[in-house]
Amino acid sequence: MPGYDLHDYDVVVVGAGGAGLRAAIEAAEQGARTAIVCKSLLGKAHTVMAEGGIAAALANVDPDDNWRVHFRDTMRGGKLMNNWRMAMIHAQEAPERVLELERWGALFDRTPDGRILQRPFGGHRYSRLAHVGDRTGLEMIRTLQQKAVSLGIDVFMETTVTRILSDGRRVAGCLGYRRESGDLIVWRAKAVVLATGGVGKCYKVTSNSWEYTGDGQSLAYWAGAELMDMEFVQFHPTGMVWPPSVAGVLVTEGVRGDGGILLNNKGERFMFNYIPDYFRAETAESIAEADRWYTDKRNNRRPPELLPRDVVARAINSEIKAGRGSPHGGVFLDIASRLPREEIIRRLPSMYHQFLKLADVDITREPMEVGPTMHYIMGGVKVDPDTAATCVPGLYAAGEVAAGLHGANRLGGNSLSDLLVFGRRAGLAAAQYAGSLATIVSPSGDEIEAAAAEMYEPFQRADGENPFALQKELQQTMQDLVGIIRTEEELKEALHRIQDLKERARRVSVPGNQLYNPGWHLAMDLKNLLTVAEAITISALERKESRGAHTRDDYPNEDPEQARFNIVVRRDSDGQPLLVKEPRPELPDEVKKILQEA
């Protein structure tokens, strides 16, 4: 076995997106010796790609907004599958986290009287998303990164963590490798915070980038933590569909928030045909009423284009299936006829450039072609709502990797605020936990050796399976059989194929050596991709109803009985996934009262 570098910290944060940076800042401010490890360059995380904004009830545009309405919107959007305590903490603390970001130097767009401007977004009752044009994530990361660097936090860039280490009872650190050299690193740490983001690369069409291979979910699972709500995978209604090389790239909901409308190939504004009863009272039912909302938001019902993402994605899917789609298999999103050219370029500069450069489409003159794209996973690592602690002592998870806040469907903008609120809480709890341990915990040498041997195995085999081919097969399987609309038959077929892929992944081989070797990197990521794909599929099979982002063709309705439990997946003693239906606690009366408020 090759040697490894050894580093000691109180807290190691895996991931440098919004959640990881905010966790690391808090841990360092608590006095913990803190390091951040990230798979790519610092600043190159999903968070930097975020476009629309951060949801927080600042009430700058709509004075009636407050945390209770934000909490209610989040719970309704999540079809009440949310962990109510997380949703409440999130709604209460988001405004302070945004203001804190501003104190640290973030420059948001302004209202005429100089306050942070907020834009409307799907599922939010009021204009609530603090933003910087359509480049909010960039400003957020710039600010957090600057703060983290100023605190002297150590950063290990282009370094991938492959294993959480333990002393048999609790976390003792983690193991990883430098992507460039392939050299191993062991971090001995009292606490580890997972902030590794999503799982998009299980799917063929996704808005997610190459890094999102479900690493944190899988690391937690193999360390003995639990995964929850994995069946709830969000398909964003509007991704690019053409040209094929950019299929899935996100088209921000901000386009619809700023007036964009969805049309089928007959020129019909079809969303009026898909308003669920649940949202009828607050949704405009005529074009005139919908359009009035853009000028007079307070007294009118919202346009149906701003219904929650699951509703809009299913509607687009139905239009395409019914033959009313656009030439390249999407529908049309029109902002050109809705706003003056200069206004579109001012409000949506990234979208303007994205379409011009990637698709040769000028969105100020012609409509975009868009279709659903796998975007986000609501499920993830099960955590304590107050501390972000998992059931493994010393292991924490925050951001997209964690479950609970968003229930069956996330509202746009609620992820960035999630990262700030629960990133901070995870960093705080991890630092406090580390402070409570007298000495550094030592990982077992045998465990390090076994994990390292597993990492190098693909070099030992000749003529084994090709990791790229296996990933492609997995992506096609998830896309075709575990997508927006699911059936028992297809899910069973997917599970069968995943099990076969798991078997074949044990025989994967890679040529060359450990110096920057993408085939080898993917061979290691495959274990994570397959772990999360299996967890999503078995959870989707178990939930026999349609709720939020999980739609079963064979069980098309919501079933109150099924809403009584969360689906939790943990590893059994043979390393196989064990599925448990965990009863959900009754909502306290105080919470029920808020949910009933008009």
547 is catalytic: no
Question: How big is the chain by its Cα radius of gyration, in Å?
Answer: 23
Candidates 208-216, 270-278, 317-325, 506-514: pick the segment binding ligand FAD (CB under 6 A).
Answer: 208-216
Between CA 196 and CA 199 the distance in angstroms is 9
Tell me, what DSSP letter sits at residue 360? -
Closest-approach residue to ligand FAD (CB): 17
Q: Closest CB to ligand FAD among 416 and 538?
A: 416
* In the complex, least distance from residue 223 CB atom to ligand FAD, rounded to whole angstroms: 13
Helices and strands per DSSP (H, E), number in the chain: 17, 20
Candidates 78-86, 89-97, 333-341, 415-423: pick the segment binding ligand FAD (CB under 6 A).
Answer: 415-423
Between CA 541 and CA 459 the distance in angstroms is 36
Q: Does 51 bind ligand FAD (CB under 6 A)?
A: yes
Q: Does 53 bind ligand FAD (CB under 6 A)?
A: yes
**Per-position x/- string for 383-402, each x denoting binding to ligand FAD as judged by CB under 6 A, each - no binding:** ----------------xxx-
Which residue in 70, 128, 163, 256 is the catalytic one? 256
Candidates 269-277, 306-314, 378-386, 413-421: pick the segment binding ligand FAD (CB under 6 A).
Answer: 413-421
Candidates 11-19, 82-90, 101-109, 533-541: pick the segment binding ligand FAD (CB under 6 A).
Answer: 11-19
Query: How remote is the C-alpha of 503 from its chain's centroid?
Result: 28
Which residue in 22, 90, 163, 236 is the catalytic one? 236
* In the complex, least distance from residue 298 CB atom to ligand FAD, rounded to whole angstroms: 24
256 is catalytic: yes
Candidates 24-32, 42-50, 501-509, 561-569: pick the segment binding ligand FAD (CB under 6 A).
Answer: 42-50
Q: Give the count of residues interacting with ligand FAD (CB under 6 A).
A: 41
Return the amino acid letter for 558.
E
Q: Does 370 bind ligand FAD (CB under 6 A)?
A: no
On whether the CB atoms of residues 469 and 427 are closer than 8 A, the answer is: no
Rama region for 123: left / alpha / beta (φ>0; ψ in -120 to 50; rest): left
Q: Does 147 bind ligand FAD (CB under 6 A)?
A: no
Q: Closest CB to ligand FAD among 139 and 400?
A: 400
Q: Which two tokens stand for residue 283?
A: 């949704």
Candidates 81-89, 90-98, 189-197, 260-268: pick the segment binding ligand FAD (CB under 6 A).
Answer: 189-197
Give the residue, chosen from 11, 28, 45, 189, that forms a contact with ligand FAD under the rule CB under 6 A: 45
* In the complex, least distance from residue 50 CB atom to ligand FAD, rounded to whole angstroms: 3
Between CA 307 and CA 296 the distance in angstroms is 18
Burial group, residue 299, by CB count within 10 angstroms (0-12, 13-18, 19+): exposed
Q: Closest CB to ligand FAD among 149 and 580?
A: 149
Its sign, for the CA torsion 343, 348, 350, 354, is negative
Between CA 461 and CA 124 the distance in angstroms is 53
* In the complex, least distance from residue 420 CB atom to ligand FAD, rounded to whole angstroms: 10
Mention every residue, 6+ apart, whose C-beta is less than 8 A from residue 358: 240, 243, 246, 249
Q: Does 217 bind ligand FAD (CB under 6 A)?
A: no
SS3 for 435-452 is HHCCCCCCCCHHHHHHHH
Give the residue, chosen from 161, 271, 374, 408, that forms a contact with ligand FAD under the rule CB under 6 A: 161
On whether the CB atoms of residues 534 and 488 are closer than 8 A, the answer is: no
SS3 for 251-292 is CCCHHHHCCCEEECCCCCCHHHHHCCHHHHCCECCCHHHHHH
Query: Which residues are 283's β-sheet partners?
Result: 302
Give the residue, chosen from 283, 415, 475, 539, that forms a contact with ligand FAD under the rule CB under 6 A: 415
On whether the CB atoms of residues 592 and 585 are closer than 8 A, the answer is: no
Give the residue, chosen from 95, 133, 197, 372, that forms a contact with ligand FAD under the rule CB under 6 A: 197
Q: Does 409 bind ligand FAD (CB under 6 A)?
A: no
Give the burial string for 323-343 (b: 16+ CB within 10 Å, else e): eebbeeebbbbbbbeebeeee
Q: Does 207 bind ligand FAD (CB under 6 A)?
A: yes
Q: Does 215 bind ligand FAD (CB under 6 A)?
A: yes
Angle between the N-to-C axes of helices 488-505 and 467-481, in degrees from 0 to 180, rounded to the nearest 10: 170
Q: Does 547 bind ligand FAD (CB under 6 A)?
A: no
Q: Does 15 bind ligand FAD (CB under 6 A)?
A: yes
* In the complex, least distance from residue 289 CB atom to ligand FAD, rounded to whole angstroms: 27
The residues binding ligand FAD (CB under 6 A) are: 14-20, 37-40, 45-47, 49-53, 136-137, 160-161, 195-197, 207-208, 211, 215, 250, 376, 399-401, 412-416, 419
Active centre residues (catalytic) = 236, 256
